[in-house]
Amino acid sequence: MSEFELIARYFAPLARSAPGAYGLLDDAAVISPSSGSELVAKTDTIVAGIDFPPDTAPDLIARKALRVNLSDLAAKGARPRAYLLDLVLPPATDEAWFAAFAAGLAADQNEYGVTLIGGDMSSTSGPVVVAVTALGEAPVGRIIRRGGARAGDLVFVTGTIGDASLGLRALQGKFPALDAESTGFLLERYQLPRPRVSLGPQLIGIATASIDVSDGLIADLRHLCSVCGLDATIAAHSVPLSDAARTLIDGHAETLAAALTGGDDYELLFTAPQAAFDRLSELARATDVPITRIGQLAAPTDPERPRMLVLDAQRRPLDFASGGWAHF
């Protein structure tokens, strides 16, 4: 089956609801923000053997590639609209792979209200690479930046932290004693992130700064502090954990470190003034997304080097050798 037949059969149907995608039969797509909005653009790539195990089911690869981008849009308060897809595959990739991959995209388009508007396919002698560029929109000038926090703002995180990195370890056979249900839960958290697409736009006007947790809670909070020029103090015992993660971490400091520094959570890490606490509680109830206060920002002790303090239950500082995932 040729590239053009593959596009016609598996990808053109995904572009049907976007008139500006021209059925993927033209050289480019057109898109405009709604009145009063601007477009928000983000690109993120996943690579087999680095971001997912090479034997991952194609539908999960597709969904992860899309979702990691939607997570960034959510962190900015942007509503997702469209995406472009670059697919780099071994030439022997069979039609069943494309069918499953496209089915994964179709499921997520339905779930998140987003539409394929363009793409490219290439062959490679190396691992599968999937690059997605997602386009969302937000009211003009209102996206939630990384750098808008003020001293005294509280630090919040959605959902639970560490499940994905523990899921990867479970996949590697590191927790043989863990029950099947917990193992399955952690695995799914690693394979299928749940970007906070509905909550994100509702944080506009409440959150002062925001980032999604992809490199790891500690590393991403450090990114935020660094752009804000503020110190942060986090209470490790207040970081929300799933039951499965809590079981694994109980009494294992190294596993706690893995949870707090491991990546792939795709939760939102954001700051808001104390006065916003009640509104956030209401929002958590209304959206059914847990929002947990985990710490607070302060004026920097050294403006050149924003400091991050992670305290244990006895308020002793914890030290994390690894600050988060780095490619290079």
Q: Would you tell me which residues interact with its own copies (CB under 8 A)? A: 1-4, 6, 20, 22, 25-33, 38-47, 49-51, 72-73, 75-76, 78, 82, 84-86, 88, 91, 93, 117-127, 129, 131, 133, 135-136, 138, 140, 143, 145-147, 211-212, 227, 326-328
User: Could you give the CA distance from residue 113 to residue 317 in angstroms, rounded to a whole number?
Assistant: 43
Provide the token pair at 166. 């523990």
CA–centroid distance for 145 within its chain: 16
For residue 72, the minimal CB distance to its own copies (Å) is 4
Q: What is the greatest pairwise CA distance in the chain?
A: 63
Whichever of 134 and 236 has its CB closer to its own copies, that residue is: 134
Q: Which is nearer to its own copies, 112 or 185 (CB)?
A: 112
Task: Name residue 6's amino acid.
Answer: L
71 or 292: whose CB is closer to its own copies? Answer: 71
Residue 97 and residue 126: Cα distance in Å, rounded?
17
Q: What is the length of the chain?
A: 328
**How many C-alpha atoms does 270 have within 13 Å on its Cβ side?**
34
Residue 284 C-beta: closest distance to its own copies, Å: 22
Phi, psi of 317 (to 5 degrees): -65, 135
What kind and span of H or E run contains 129? strand 129-139
Q: Which is nearer to its own copies, 144 or 178 (CB)?
A: 144
| Closer CB to its own copies, 93 or 202, in the complex | 93
Buried b (16+ CB within 10 A) or exposed e, 2-23: eeeebbeebbbebbeebeebbe
CB of 169 to its own copies, least distance (A): 20
Q: How far apart are CB 46 and its own copies at their closest, in Å?
A: 7
User: Of the two residues 100 and 121, which places its CB atom closer to its own copies in the complex?
Assistant: 121
Minimal distance, residue 109 CB to its own copies, in Å:
17
Q: Which of 3, 30, 214, 201 is nearest to 115 (CA)?
A: 30
Q: Which CB sits closer to its own copies, 126 or 205?
A: 126
Instruction: Report the nearest approach of its own copies to the CB of residue 83 (Å).
Output: 10
CB 140 → its own copies: shortest distance, Å?
7
Name 84's bridge partners. Answer: 118, 133
